[in-house]
A and B are shown apart, each in its own frame.
Chain A
Amino acid sequence: MSYKPDEGTLVAYLYGELDAAETERVRQYLEQHPQIREQLQQMGDVRKLMGALSDVEVIAPPVFVDHQQNSTPFWKAGYFKITIGIAASLLFLLVAARLIGPEVTYSNGELRISFNNTTPIAEQEQQLTANEVQHMINQSLVKNNETIAGSWEASNQKIRESLQRNLDNNSARIDKLMAVASQASQDQVRTFVAGLQEENLKLMKDYFQLSAKDQQMYVENLLVDFTKYLQEQRKQDLLLFQVRMNSIEKNTDQFKQETEQILASIISNPEGAIRKVNNY
């Protein structure tokens, strides 16, 4: 009786996950070991108790089906991008190499990577001494100074000449202008004065003509008026004279009649006539 199932086997037995042979062996073992069987029995009870713990009801959330295209086009695939990337870099390198023309040489233990074949100039330059260089610099400086001075002189001269020329031109032009202006003014004054005189003359003539005519007319009118006045005056005088004459005539007639009456009365009645004359 050396067989003793371990915990795992016992659990597997409890859940019936042992094969037939193993199950049988455990069953036999349990028959001989009641306390182990009791223990397993209690575990079975625990399972039954725990079995009362039921599921919680839950509703699965709705699943949103997205219509995203899963099949990516080949130009978006990773391997394609990588291949294109490598090809592009190689092409770039080749083009760059063609343009730059790199040269890699190894001689005398010296590795040299160079671009463009510009080799011998460096050596010639190295043979120049410091003095020569100084001399060259000085020479070039002197030459430079000379050139600057020369050009300065020339430009100075040019400026002066152009100034002079401008000055001459301007003064001549101003003189001419002045002359023209003065000439013009003499003529203008003359014509102006003549015009003025003519105008005055004309004005005077007109004035006199106009005034003479007016005066003539005025005087004529005056004469006419005066004659009219005189005629009127005479007419009125005549009328007045006639009236007076008439009244005198009337008075004379009345006096004549009275005289005749008195005479008649006197003749008829000399006494009465005398009294009457006395009374009268």
Chain B
Amino acid sequence: MAETLPDIVMMHSDALLERARQGDKNAQGKLVQLWYKRIYNFAYKFFFDHDLAMEVSQKTFISMHRNLAGLHETARFKSWLYTIAVNYCREELRKRKASRSVSLNDFPAGNEVSYRWETSSGRSDNPEKQLRHTELSDLLQQCLMELSAEQREVVIMKEYEGLKFREIAEALQVSENTVKSRMYYGLDGLKKILEKRNITKDTLGYEL
């Protein structure tokens, strides 16, 4: 979460939401600016794919623009927005399963070094550190991709998007206990995956 404090305050500003809800285009634009990164990152972590993440983000905000007037409780905006995003993510997932086409980019590389790691993210940081960081991120992302979609949703929402269990339950329209249970097994699954790949705090300690 790299948002600045004023941004976070604005993201939950009832006044802004109210104005957007009443059709204020500027307020809606502001909402998109504030939430775009969150929704994009949610979708990116879910798919580990930039294009799909962009697609889902755009669809989510188009849908937000159309349906915002129907949202009566501004307090529920966050979970409402994630509901839309999750639904589009699931839709894309179904499409990909239906078409059964596997991109070579997404092919699991196993223990081998993926060429994807070689792509530069273009940050003007220490290149070696940057590369190591990218490698680590991709490695962890691959671990995340090994979880089931249901567990992945919950883990991302909780761990990276910082939603409360209640909000996740609202967003996914399941009970809070189900969410907690999925979270538990998600973490458990991750632990096993990390062990399998021999990624521990000790092996990565120098990077953390």
Contact = CB atoms under 8 A, between A and B. Distances in A.
Interface in B1-37: 1-2, 23, 25-26, 28-29, 32-33, 36-37
B144 A53 contact: yes
Interface string A41-75: 01101111111111111101101011100100000
Contacts of B77: none
A280 interface: no
Interface of A: 7-12, 14-15, 17, 42-43, 45-58, 60-61, 63, 65-67, 70
B1 A43 contact: no
A43 B188 contact: yes
Contacts of A67: 25
Q: Size band of the B side of the interface?
A: 35 or more
Given A46-B190, A47-B159, A52 B144 contact: no
Interface stretch (B81-89, B92-100, B111-119, B134-142): B134-142
Contacts of A9: 180
Contacts, number: 102
Contacts of B32: 60, 63
A15 B50 CA distance: 29
B63 interface: no
A48 B185 CA distance: 17
Contacts of B141: 53
Contacts of B187: 11, 14, 43, 46-47
Given A8-B177, A15-B158, A52-B137, A46 B36 contact: no
Contacts of B184: 7-8, 10-11
Given A55-B41, A56-B40, A12 B191 contact: no
Contact of B181 (A7, A17, A42, A48): A7
Interface in B125-175: 133, 136-137, 140-141, 143-144, 155, 158-160, 164-165
Interface string B189-208: 01100100001110010011
B159 A51 contact: yes
Interface of B: 1-2, 23, 25-26, 28-29, 32-33, 36-37, 40-41, 44-45, 50, 57-58, 133, 136-137, 140-141, 143-144, 155, 158-160, 164-165, 176-177, 180-181, 183-185, 187-188, 190-191, 194, 199-201, 204, 207-208
B51 to A, nearest CB: 12
A46 B165 CA distance: 19
Contacts of A49: 140, 194, 199-201, 204, 208
Contacts of B26: 65
Contact of B164 (A17, A53, A57): A17
A67 B25 CA distance: 8
Contacts of A70: 23
Nearest to B166: A17
A66 B201 contact: no
B169 to A, nearest CB: 11
Contacts of A45: 191, 200-201
